[in-house]
Amino acid sequence: MTGTVFVSGGSGYIAGFLIRQLIEQGWTVRSTIRDLSKEGAVRQLLAVDDSKLAFFAADLRHDAGWAEAMAGCSHAAHLASPLPRGVPKDPDELIVPAREGALRALRAAKTAGVKRFVMTSSVAAVAYGRGRGEHHFTEADWTDPQRPGLTPYILSKTIAERAARDWVARDGGDIEFCTINPSLVLGPVWSRDYSSSLSVLHKMLDGSMPALPDIGFGVVDVRDVADLHVRALNAPGMAGERFIASGPFMKLRDIADVLRAQLGPQAHKVPTRGVPDWLVRLMARFNPVARAVVGELGSVRHQDSSHAKAVLGWVPRPVEQSIVDAARDLIRLGIVKA
C-alpha cells in the first residue's frame, strides 16, 4: 500500500528512519517540525527524494499547522513527544505537551479523513512501577500513574496513550487507532543532535557514569521500531491494537559488557563497578537523576514482543548490534571522545 502519510516530529530519531522507509516504499510524506528554519538540515540528513517529502511548522502545544500538515493524508504516524535529557522539576512540562499533542494530532486526522492512525507510545506506559523482582509484561499491562516514584517521562507516556485511546473510543469515528510501545531505542546515529535515548551509552563511553546502578532496560533497534510502524500502517485490522517493541531486558552491566567486548580500547572508560542500592537511595535525596531510578532498582522487566512478531511478522535484529552501532556512531561523530 502507498499513498500520502503524515509523520509528526520529522526531526526526531525514530521519525527519520520511518520517513526513509516510507519513501523507499513509495509513500509521499507530510511531516512536522517545530522550526522550519531547520528544514534544510533535516532534509540533508534524510537524503531522500525531496519531491516525496513536505514539511510544515507545528508544535505539540499549539493548534496552528496541524490541519494543514494532515490535509490529504489517508494514514498518520504520530511520533512527536517530549523526551528530555534530564528530569524536569514540573512533570507537566512533559505530560501536557505529550497528552495535548496526541489529541491535536487525532483531531486533525479526523478532520482530514485519515483512516489509520499509529501512535508511538512506550513501554513506559506498560511496565513501570512494579518495584524489585522479576516481572513479565504483555500489551494487556499498563503502568499505574498513581504509583509513587514514577518519573515525569513515564507519566507523560502513560497519560498520553490513555488520553488518546479514550478520545478514539469517544470521538474517533472510523479511525483505526493503534500504538507502538518501544523500549530503549538504540542504533545508528546520524548527527551530533542525537536522541536522549542514547544518553545511557554516551555516559558509559565518556566516563560520566563512573559506576553502574542495578537497573536496566529492554533494548530495541531504531530501524526495527521504524519497520514496525510501517507494518502497522499497512496491515489490515489494526483498530485498538497495541504492540510492544522490545528485545531482551538488559541490566546496565550487561550493556557495559557488550561495549567492552566489541569496542576494545574505545570502551576503556566504560564502568566495571556497580553502585550499591543504599548509595543510590542516599544520592536520590539531592540528585534528581538518582531519584528517577530508585523505584526501578533490582527490577527486571521482561516485555514480550511476541504479539508484534505473530500479527505483523516483525523480526528485530540482535540487540548487541544495536548497542555497538550506536556506540560506534557516537564516537565517529565526535559526540564521545573515546
Cell of 55: 514539511
Sequence-distant (6+) residues with CB within 8 A of 67 are: 108, 111, 112
Inter-residue contact 15 to 31 (CB < 8 Å): yes
Sequence-distant (6+) residues with CB within 8 A of 237 are: none
Strands 216-221 and 249-251: antiparallel
Chain Cα centroid distance, residue 24: 22
Q: Is 160 helix (H, G, I), strand (E, B) or coil?
A: helix
Partners of 203 in the β-ladder: none
Cell of 121: 507510545
Instruction: Enumerate the active-site residues.
Output: 157
Picking from 280, 262, 278, the residue whose alpha carbon sits closest to that of residue 270 is 262
- Give the integer Cα–Cα distance in Å for 75 and 105: 12
DSSP string, 28-78: EEEEEES-GGGHHHHHHHH---GGGEEEEE--TT--TTHHHHHTT-SEEEE
Report how far apart, in Å, the C-alpha atoms of 199 and of each of 11, 83, 151, 181, 311 are.
18, 11, 16, 19, 32
Inter-residue contact 149 to 136 (CB < 8 Å): no
- Give the integer Cα–Cα distance in Å for 286 and 85: 18
